[in-house]
Structure 1
């Protein structure tokens, strides 16, 4: 079999499996497996919820590189936040968030840049004097745009078979036969809102629960001026905790549930955290997670198993994770799903008394 046909067969098999794994051919928001390390991408109410004066976060994800190579899915997220006190025990947070996602040979790209803000209301101490409860309301407002590059992909009318030797190739000089004069959507406004409640019982025990709604106005993302294609709202539910096992060891279970149009997914699991509890704290985490999603027949099944590792060194947190595909896509990508990196920097507060926050 000629190499061209062999490559086409592999690529077609992967794309077919991928399409069958989706509920509909609708564009969806990119996601990060390390959702606990991309807080304001998940919920605007997580703006300012960190034990420091300001925080910088960077996330990188590449998916299905084993099959698609340089055409693999790539997601890059970044955020910066700053928090200040309001009165005695309340706070407000403010920041900027950016997200870029690129897919396939056409370089279909989703871009988003928003301002994020929150208000942290102290609800008082709980039963134990050391515990603190907060209710946080957050919102985001910004712009987005989708783009593609149709100079890269080829279409059926450009596929040519030489009758003399039966060799197949793509002739990019031939017309595509498609009316594709617009390569980007209009810049659209985008709004999100969220709530979060958390209770810090002591230094090593806490819990939180929250939710958010993204794309509140369902902006038009059609590439054609005379048509309308609404971007589905995306709802998010999340919960998590820190549970101490010993002074040095604790469990960090968490769950994230999301829905966007016909798409539904859940990521749940836990990280095991070990800390030396020194004044220059160093901690390591190792975890296992499961990602569940619905498929074409609306059946919900396990899509991937995620292995994670995190190193905390004072103000810095370095994380990496790997998605092992276990769904029908495993045949096409040899179970090599996604690789992800995260980096978080938290600058300590200048004030004597630090803000009380849970660990994520």
Structure 2
């Protein structure tokens, strides 16, 4: 009975990956929107490096595990060397303060380039995406920017047949299995941002690909599908030292039902933040982050599973480490993203 139960859970996970959401989900997407939208690349006046690790549904064998590394940076001397909102070297004004918002001016037109590597493993399946990104940031108004971006690269899907035990070892669905498949990857996005709000829209996996694990075409029914994201956030001032930032993300991934994430976080000056999140029909989460210095930041979240998997899941852990390179103004938190 125990083996049967585990088999049912593994099949649930397998079907979730193949027929539903095929890209990883993130609780701390607000800490790295670049993961979902290439238009965010180069938004800050430094090289932004982030490494993340997510262990989903701990305690459940074969549950998804995600790790990633992202790097993006701006290009354009007018922005890097003459940013209209540049603050004095050594830090100066708190980017989360009211006065910073009052003095904010749109960024100079500039480019953003970057690279992201994401590895996601669930059960016998492993997916790796390697994408280069390009973005262009344009001032629409004295306090408003629009960025458009694209991502392009390659993806790899691997099947570990040693993790699959079947009654018939020659099951035609995976007989002579093709356990490694490479295919092109393409995405795009737009990002509208001001000192007090942002709105973004993006799509991943624009190019549909057939995933094949058998030499028999009758079993090659799985396909990658586009993932659409709509995000928005606003900055509200509780006091001169405390800022509340609610945000929402809608996800459209056919053929599964549309879903959304709601996140709210309190930032205490530019030093640390606390927050909570809700994911429809899936989880609630607590979040905490520290801007340790002008070089290093750290974020952690814990998801409490609210779906039927809560009987076998011990929750989800997610860690993010941020490094700020070429940080000319020694800021300890983002100036244009929040």
Q: TM-score, normalised by structure 1?
A: 0.76
Residues 209, 238 of structure 1: 8 Å contact kept: yes
Unaligned runs of 5+ in 2: 80-107
Residues 241, 359 of structure 1: 8 Å contact kept: no
Unaligned runs of 5+ in 1: 126-131, 158-174, 201-205, 276-280, 293-301
Aligned partner of 1:112 in structure 2 is 129
Secondary structure of the equivalent of 2:30?
helix
Residues 238, 254 of structure 1: 8 Å contact kept: yes
Match of 2:321 among 327, 330, 343: 343
Q: TM-score, normalised by structure 2?
A: 0.81
Aligned partner of 2:87 in structure 1 is none
Residues 72, 112 of structure 2: 8 Å contact kept: yes
Match of 1:331 among 308, 311, 314: 311
Residues 188, 220 of structure 1: 8 Å contact kept: no
Change (3 A) 1:218 1:40: same
Aligned partner of 1:122 in structure 2 is 139
Aligned partner of 1:182 in structure 2 is 177
Distance 1:211 1:349 in 2: 28
Secondary structure of the equivalent of 2:129?
strand
Aligned partner of 2:116 in structure 1 is 97
Secondary structure of the equivalent of 2:282?
strand
* Residues 1-360 of structure 1 aligned to structure 2 (within 5 Å): 5=1, 7-8=2-3, 10-12=5-7, 14-15=9-10, 25-26=19-20, 28-50=22-44, 52-68=45-61, 71-85=62-76, 89-104=108-123, 106=124, 108-125=125-142, 132-157=143-168, 175-178=169-172, 179-200=174-195, 206-224=196-214, 226=217, 227=220, 229-263=222-256, 264-275=258-269, 283-292=271-280, 302-315=281-294, 316-333=296-313, 336-350=314-328, 357-360=335-338
Distance 1:345 1:324 in 2: 28
Secondary structure of the equivalent of 1:247?
coil
Residues 86, 92 of structure 1: 8 Å contact kept: no
CA RMSD of aligned residues (A): 2.6
Change (3 A) 1:328 1:17: farther
Over alpha carbons, which structure has the higher Rg? 1
